[in-house]
Chain A
């Protein structure tokens, strides 16, 4: 049996539905419905809708997860009252924000002010189409999907800065500047850490990278790169201890001070979508993606959708670590953050590249023999 894939499911669903309809309906309509292009178009739409809906639901679940976890760390219960254990609280909050009046400060530039949240949102959720969550569960197998993902991921600061600048608020502007400085500073070590992964796996394709981790996950040989990558991701996600752009103690809410209602909801949701994507990336690059070690008993890996299940478990564990960090660390200062970024992270990531190269070399030494997983 071919592995279950989201596109395959939606394709067979749409074609079955249309063919049944065509059998019932009269002639001109039935020929139209049984047209192959239409089936293709509709199945792509269904595929996209399902992926988008599932990803956003997952994001909202992530917010719930953070609220509950953070609550427990703080000796309280978190959201409790809407839905079972507050599961529907985020929907209630979203509804409240949706009903709010959307306004814009008098001096704000309307074009930038209104387009920034939308653009930020789009740039964040496009990532869900690029990252594979299991074999066959991505929009397509691109040979350079890792590069594309990183490019899209690093697009967002532009929109943050756009929103901050156009909202004509001093706090927003400072927050936007900090955000831009921080993300540029941490973009470089992240990319260098990724280079180490690419060296070890020999591919830019995320699916291949995960498949390369069948025998051993990359966090072992690339521990240094993992540290750099996690720290960089914390900075990219703007989470404590690196949440300076929205440091509420001094900057009120940083770059999204002036945004309210649905605009704020967009920013908020996109922020968590980025957090989810960041956790996805860590799982994909370092923690073996949807694969499990071979000693795991078969019943745990054989059930339907096992890949997705284990992928999400890993993702939430990674995000749980982020929540833990958020609950227990104070915020650093901008200059300290940038100093760490340029002076510590980049040398570390360069070192990790050297280590990755050494690992690759070592595997090809006659003493060890080329490991079969290295492929070419």
Chain B
């Protein structure tokens, strides 16, 4: 019997359809159907100039907007040969880490709900709000920020921000202990999640899986470490790894990543306290990176001369490895923007880690994959 889990279904955490063939409670086959959220971001990007695309990037993954801004901005700067001031790099690093914390907290909330834990869902959402408050205090937005600009960031941090951010970090690190106690301390949690959705390291690599799913299989692959970008080369942290390759392993990896993110954040906040400086490159046209983006008349009237080029960037997004490829042919807009989402690949391999388990196992497994449909469909 085929049943449709989606497009409106509590398991999906978004808008997609998992067709499941079941025999009683046993899953025989699955077939993910995507595209319900396809907005043609890659196509629209061909019709926008660089700073306008940032708006689209926020919407690519609506729980990790900052990470996708960062991804695209890096590729664009690579293509346009723009150097970014150091302070802007650190602010971007901090923003991406805060985004990782917010995204992982959202994942925690959704995941515990999938296995039937009710209260931690609200704890996760409550604590995520603190991070969103921080975002609001320096970008003005809670979910879609439009904060990064080609050549830097839109504005510097407001006074007193770092103290506030440190307070949030302290609060969160205490809460993570509670989170662990609520999940790992429960026998039922282990009965539900151990040896579930197993995808061994070799299979992960065959199917191109990245991020916490790959790290839960024991592969310490993290682009922040392997191919440091922004200020990640100068901060001290460890790559979270687990060895179960199962749902519990993914839980452990993400919780450890949250702790490591706080560690990175404390270092970046210290650095930002000590070092002042410009947050926007000098050689960028004013219309391209001015605060509050007056991309009005003046900007459109200017004749744009971009050097031809190809830009490529790879970042460790909260869900895994995200790639951007920007082709610039000298026009006003990029000729082609290609985005690769980690979740796209992780869902594509759904058959490998879902078949053979039970219907009741699908929500925890898909929850541990951390689906964000926005970036799959783009």
Contacts and interface: CB of A to CB of B under 8 A. Distances in A.
Interface string B149-193: 000000000000000000000000000000000110010110110
A327 B10 contact: no
B359 A250 contact: yes
Given A75-B122, A241-B116, A330 B359 contact: no
Interface string B330-373: 00000000000000000000000000001111111000000000
A326 to B, nearest CB: 7
Interface string A318-356: 000000001111111111100000000000000000000
B116 A330 contact: yes
B123 interface: yes
B3 A240 contact: no
Interface in B292-338: none
A70 B359 CA distance: 28
A80 interface: no
Nearest to B121: A74
Contact of A250 (B5, B117, B126, B186): B5
B21 to A, nearest CB: 12
Interface string A238-266: 00110110011111100000000000000
Given A75-B123, A252-B10, A70 B358 contact: no
Contacts of A96: none
Contact of A328 (B119, B358, B361): B119
Interface residues of A toward B: which range? 20 to 34
A335 B358 contact: yes
Contact of B191 (A70, A76, A332): A332
A137 interface: no
Nearest to A70: B118
- In this complex, the member of A327, A331, A336 whose beta carbon has the largest number of chain B beta carbons within 10 angstroms is A331
Nearest to A72: B119
B3 A333 contact: no
Nearest to B188: A330
- In this complex, the member of B25, B121, B189 whose beta carbon has the largest number of chain A beta carbons within 10 angstroms is B25
A240 B362 contact: no
Interface residues of B, number: 33
A247 B363 CA distance: 10
B113 interface: yes
Interface in A128-183: 170-171, 174
A309 interface: no
A243 B118 CA distance: 12
Contacts of A250: 5, 10-11, 359-360, 362-363
Contacts of B255: none
A306 B302 CA distance: 87
Nearest to A337: B360
Interface string B244-276: 000000000000000000000000000000000
Contacts of B84: none
B77 interface: no
Contacts of A75: 119, 122-123, 126
A310 interface: no
Given A170-B3, A252-B9, A333 B117 contact: no
Interface in A5-55: none
Contacts of B126: 75
23 contacts: A74-B121, A75-B123, A76-B122, A170-B3, A174-B25, A240-B116, A240-B118, A241-B188, A243-B116, A249-B113, A249-B116, A250-B11, A250-B359, A250-B363, A252-B10, A327-B119, A328-B117, A330-B115, A330-B186, A331-B188, A331-B192, A333-B358, A336-B191
Given A74-B122, A241-B188, A333-B358, 13 more contacts: A74-B121, A75-B122, A170-B3, A240-B116, A243-B116, A249-B114, A249-B115, A249-B363, A327-B118, A330-B117, A330-B183, A330-B188, A330-B189
Among all A-B residue pairs, the 10 with the closest Cβ atoms: A331-B116, A249-B363, A74-B122, A330-B115, A330-B117, A330-B116, A74-B119, A333-B360, A249-B114, A327-B119
